[in-house]
Structure 1
Amino acid sequence: MKIGIDKLGFYVPHLYVDMNKLAVARNIEPAKFTIGIGQEKMALAPITQDPVTLAANAALGILDETDKEKIDFVIFATETGIDHSKSAAVYVHHLVGLNPHARCIEVKHACYGATAAIQMAKGHVALNPESKVLVLGSDIARYGLNTSGEATQGAGAVAMVISADPKVIALEAQSTYLTDDIMDFWRPNYSDKAFVDGKFSNEQYILFFSKMWEQYKEKTGLDLNDFEALCFHLPYTKMGMKALKTVLDEGTEATQQRLAANYKISAEYNKNVGNIYTGSLYLSLLSLLEQKEDLQAGSRIGLFSYGSGAVGEFFTGILQAGFQDHLYVEEHKGLFTSRTEVSVPEYEEIFQETLPTDGSNIEFNIDKDPAAICLVGMTDNMRNYVNKLR
């Protein structure tokens, strides 16, 4: 039985910051942002959007009534969760109107969480072939104003339906994975901003990829020439290319050219959104599928997932016949073209807007937020959401 991604969508907030202008405001040469790390725009979440609403809007864009009835498991992967107790999946389950007879949980391990969710979903579908699982990867990356990590912030969510006989990509059974207890990136419970040892994290990312790639080749007998493309977790778009370059010489000249060209396509969405942590790898996959028009069914795609702290996995999928007919290219194109640029001072003001932490109530005006699902405020320490379509 084939199991994999049946549907794949994403949502990005309607605001963004131009990285050239952010660089100028920080007295940094713009090329360090646009070329050095490969970022052009940074998605910015207003106060009316949080990880729950981003995920719910992503799911709303791909689910039909049949999906809503058959989904009996929702797995929400995030490292910017909103509650230490209640799963963010429960909010999404309600906001998009899913079958009440469902499990809903939240999982965490830095940027690896959505991959863990997919593997868990595969096991559920293997035992329950008629079921579907909704996997969500949703995050808002915050390092702080005028920090070394500011240029690698972002916001957005990816939603995936995992099922038997998937229409987009069937995930192969063999994968390799690795864990090591390191401190390259972390966010203590008391902080709303992350801490990172950037140089160390980059080194570990490449080391993890190298170790898992060698293990994968030994385990499967496959090599670089067997792949149409490799997609990477992208905290910034040059990161994945650094890892890819370490193995490119293993392929033929044609393979090297193909993988390099396809990598560039796979990074296009990410460079215009920024880092979305758990959803980053799958935004890269989506960028490849929706923008490379001559991708063929039967092609093998490699996927490298890395979560600081650290856990990594390398796994693969085979594109299914007619997969192009089950993408949401125009809808996603509309998300990008309808966004509004904000100035650096406006960005700084929005960035510093936070929810009350003292138990006080607050209400937001959501008229300027075009999203169907928004955060409308807090009452008695509870977040209040609305689906405008109801």
Structure 2
Amino acid sequence: MSSWPEDVGILALEIVFPSQYVDQTELEQFDGVSAGKYTIGLGQQKMGFCSDREDINSLCLTVVQKLLERHNIKPSEIGRLEVGTETIIDKSKSVKTVLMQLFEPYGVTDIEGIDTTNACYGGTAALFNSIAWVESSAWNGRFALAVAGDIAVYAKGAARPTGGVGAIAMLVGPNAPLIFDRGIRATYVRHTYDFYKPDLTSEYPVVDGKLSIQCYLNALDQCYQQYCKNVSKKLNSEVDISSFDAVIFHSPYGKLVQKSLARLVLNDYVRTTKEQRTQKFSELIKFNNIKLEDSYFDRDVEKAFLNYSKEIFDKKTSPSLLIASQVGNMYTPSLYGGLVSLLINKKVSELAGKKIAMFSYGSGLAASFFSITVTHNCGPSSPLQKLVSNLSYIKPLLEQRQKIEPQKFESTLELRQKTCHSAPYEPNGSIENFFPGTYYLTKIDEQHRRFYDRIPVLTNGHV
């Protein structure tokens, strides 16, 4: 272990989402808004949500246990486990410590890592920390697990249809099929109140919608520009949108992702000389004097660059939006749900050797732009083939979910709001339609201690 581990990145992925959802078209009708407001205006189709039977602990227990089972990973093979989440149910005890009950029966307690929190960015921080650990002198030859999980719920109103639920576990180590490019990622962090959760008795955030969009797009500008500079300095190479085979974004809602891809094209436009624009962007020449900081809510600019970049979006970004449109905004797992969507929407031969750009954003704010290189090896027994094959359960599982009428969806959120942090409490939600292998809350005692059980797995150990 004296040499730097090679090709450190993601070896395996596991995702979980609720077994129930509300249809966004039906929610439009129920909320009395115009048809298409959620489905076209936001780009959302279905939204997963939890009953009082699931919390952040149960989600993370489920996703970690399923990853270990599906990939035949022994608990002793994990040396670091970090959880990124903003769904806080205890101000002291980390979700990571709850997950240790999966390892303690095997005598495994020497696992580094705790929880990381900053809105939707925590999962990326956990992943970066996991990669850094493998590449460091602290690495002991074992795998790292980066877990991202959240329950995204909003008070009744315009933001509610942008909710969602999910958890993702990422197995990190050397010789990975998804290799993280070293030394060129860019990060942008500053203080702002665009979205935050100051009320510790509520799951609902305080949101300044317009400011949040501006902060997101500004962070994208800053990160992309710095990434381009880093690549130029380290690799003596120039970057533009054509440098990437796929571009994936944190997805609060699908329409913002489409605008974000157009935003990168706008950045490329601004970075070119006027002479280059005449050759490369002839139909956009009327925006010669545009400044990025003046364009966040310029409808003419937005429309022009959306139209110009539509083909690029359809090719490089749209395949990453399957889970976001079907499950909703999962907060910390959102970006990685996009990665999973891309992997299950492409043939392995189409993925091999490709460059994937990733933009992670968490309000408050912290953001990063980084890239992944997919290994060229896509043979039948290759790590890439194995990684993708092990994600084949996702599309069937999305189809197996139960549709819940909007009235019951709303009453479920009202129950969660009413019982948030209650103790003692015995949940009454049905577990009848839970997926095999799902952990669920059985009770909270008078000392706020939480207890869980698990739906039996299928005979082969996983779904």
TM bucket (normalised to shorter chain) is over 0.9
Counterpart position of 1:71 = 78
Deviation string for 1:228-283 (max 9, x for gaps)? 01100001011111111022364979997345423111111101111110000000
Q: C-alpha distance in 2, partners of 1:357/1:366?
A: 20
Counterpart position of 1:161 = 171
Q: Offset of 1:297 from its aligned partner?
A: 1.5
**Alignment match of 1:88 (pick from 95, 101, 108):** 95
Counterpart position of 1:384 = 451
Q: C-alpha distance in 2, partners of 1:315/1:325?
A: 24
Counterpart position of 2:358 = 303
Q: How does 1:28-177 map onto structure 2 within 5 Å?
A: 28-63=33-68, 64-95=71-102, 99-127=108-136, 128=139, 130-145=141-156, 147-177=157-187
- 8 Å CA contact 1:74–1:93 kept in 2: the answer is no
Taking only aligned residues, the RMSD between alpha carbons, in angstroms, comes to 2.2
Larger Rg: 2
Going by fraction, where is strand more abundant, 1 or 2? 1
Counterpart position of 2:381 = none
Please give the secondary structure, in 2, of the residue aligned with 1:267: helix
Say which is worse superposed, 36-45 or 60-69, in terms of deviation.
60-69
Cα distance change of structure 1 residues 228 and 338 upon mapping to structure 2, 3 Å threshold: same
Deviation string for 1:318-338 (max 9, x for gaps)? 012232331233211232011
Q: Offset of 1:214 from its aligned partner?
A: 1.1
Counterpart position of 2:250 = 233
Please give the secondary structure, in 2, of the residue aligned with 1:61: helix
Q: C-alpha distance in 2, partners of 1:148/1:388?
A: 35
Q: Offset of 1:289 from its aligned partner?
A: 1.1
Q: C-alpha distance in 2, partners of 1:288/1:159?
A: 16
- Structure 1: gaps spanning 5 or more residues: none
Q: How does 1:17-28 map onto structure 2 within 5 Å?
A: 17-28=22-33
Q: C-alpha distance in 2, partners of 1:246/1:167?
A: 29
- 8 Å CA contact 2:427–2:441 kept in 1: the answer is no
Q: Offset of 1:389 from its aligned partner?
A: 4.2
Please give the secondary structure, in 2, of the residue aligned with 1:74: strand
**Alignment match of 2:225 (pick from 184, 189, 214):** 214
Q: Offset of 1:160 from its aligned partner?
A: 0.6
Please give the secondary structure, in 1, of the residue aligned with 2:133: helix
- Structure 2: gaps spanning 5 or more residues: 1-5, 233-237, 270-279, 282-307, 379-383, 458-463
Aligned residues: 389
Counterpart position of 1:7 = 12
TM-score normalized with structure 2 length = 0.79
**How high is the sequence identity, in percent, across the aligned residues?**
27
Q: How does 1:279-358 map onto structure 2 within 5 Å?
A: 279-293=333-347, 295-320=350-375, 321-322=377-378, 323-327=384-388, 328-354=390-416, 355=419, 357-358=421-422
Counterpart position of 2:296 = none
- 8 Å CA contact 2:53–2:427 kept in 1: the answer is no
Q: C-alpha distance in 2, partners of 1:356/1:155?
A: 17
